[in-house]
Amino acid sequence: MSNQTLLNRSLQSVWHPCTQMKHHEHFPLIPIERGDGVWLIDADGKRYLDALSSWWVNLFGHNNPRIKDAIKLQLDTLEHVMLAGFTHEPVVNLSEKLAKLTGLGHAFYASDGASATEIALKMSFHYWRNLHADAKAKPLKTKFISLKNSYHGETLGALGVTDVAIFKDTYAPLLMQSAQMPSPDFRLSAAGESAEDFALRCALALELYISEHHHELAAFIIEPLVQCAAGMAMYHPSYLRRAREICTQYEVHLIADEIAVGFGRTGTMFACEQADIKPDFMCLSKGITGGYLALSAVLTTEKVYQAFYDDSALKGFLHSHSYTGNPLACSAALATLAIFDTDQVIAKNKQKAAYLASQASVFNDLPIKHLRQQGMILAFDVQSKQTKFASACYTAALSQGLLLRPIGNTVYFMPPYTTTESEIDFMIEATLGALRQLL
Ligand X SMILES: *Cc1c(COP(=O)(O)O)cnc(C)c1O
Smallest distance from the beta carbon of 193 to ligand X, in angstroms?
26
Smallest distance from the beta carbon of 158 to ligand X, in angstroms?
7
Smallest distance from the beta carbon of 117 to ligand X, in angstroms?
6
Kindly state whether residue 263 participates in binding ligand X, applying the rule CB under 6 A: no
Kindly state whether residue 118 participates in binding ligand X, applying the rule CB under 6 A: no
Spatial contact of 48 and 401, defined as CB atoms under 8 Å apart: yes
Q: Give how far Cα 66 sits from Cα of 63, 80, 289, 336, 415, Å.
A: 9, 21, 12, 8, 19
CA distance 62 to 68: 10
**Closer residue to ligand X (CB): 152 or 352:** 152
Kindly state whether residue 262 participates in binding ligand X, applying the rule CB under 6 A: no
Kindly state whether residue 412 participates in binding ligand X, applying the rule CB under 6 A: no
End-to-end Cα spacing for the chain: 38
Kindly state whether residue 229 participates in binding ligand X, applying the rule CB under 6 A: yes
Helix (H) or strand (E) holding 227: strand 226-227
Helix (H) or strand (E) holding 222: strand 217-222
Which residues make Cβ contacts (< 8 Å) with residue 89, sequence separation at least 6? Answer: none
* Residue nearest to ligand X according to CB distances in the complex: 113
Kindly state whether residue 259 participates in binding ligand X, applying the rule CB under 6 A: yes
Task: Please select the residue that binds ligand X; options are 95, 102, 146, 285, rule is CB under 6 A.
Answer: 285
Question: In 3-state terms, what secondary structure has residue 100?
Answer: helix
Kindly state whether residue 164 participates in binding ligand X, applying the rule CB under 6 A: no
Smallest distance from the beta carbon of 308 to ligand X, in angstroms?
24
Nearest to 237 by CA among 201, 199, 269: 199
**Closer residue to ligand X (CB): 356 or 414:** 414
Spatial contact of 390 and 407, defined as CB atoms under 8 Å apart: yes
Q: Provide the pairing of β-strand 377-382 with 410-413.
A: antiparallel
**Closer residue to ligand X (CB): 222 or 434:** 222
Kindly state whether residue 353 participates in binding ligand X, applying the rule CB under 6 A: no
Kindly state whether residue 153 participates in binding ligand X, applying the rule CB under 6 A: yes
By CB under 6 A, how many residues form the interface with ligand X?
15
Kindly state whether residue 147 participates in binding ligand X, applying the rule CB under 6 A: no
Binding segment for ligand X (CB under 6 A), chosen from 148-156, 316-324, 350-358, 408-416, is: 148-156
Smallest distance from the beta carbon of 346 to ligand X, in angstroms?
20
Spatial contact of 159 and 153, defined as CB atoms under 8 Å apart: yes
Q: Where are the alpha helices (DSSP H) in 23-130?
A: 53-56, 65-75, 89-102, 113-130
The torsion angles phi and psi of 357, rounded to 5 degrees, stand at: -60, -45
Kindly state whether residue 112 participates in binding ligand X, applying the rule CB under 6 A: yes
Q: Give how far Cα 279 sits from Cα of 65, 74, 150, Å.
A: 34, 33, 17
Kindly state whether residue 101 participates in binding ligand X, applying the rule CB under 6 A: no
Binding segment for ligand X (CB under 6 A), chosen from 39-47, 58-66, 213-221, 252-260, is: 252-260
Using CB under 6 A as the criterion, which residues of the chain lie in contact with ligand X when the complex forms? 112-114, 117, 151-153, 223, 228-229, 257, 259-260, 285-286
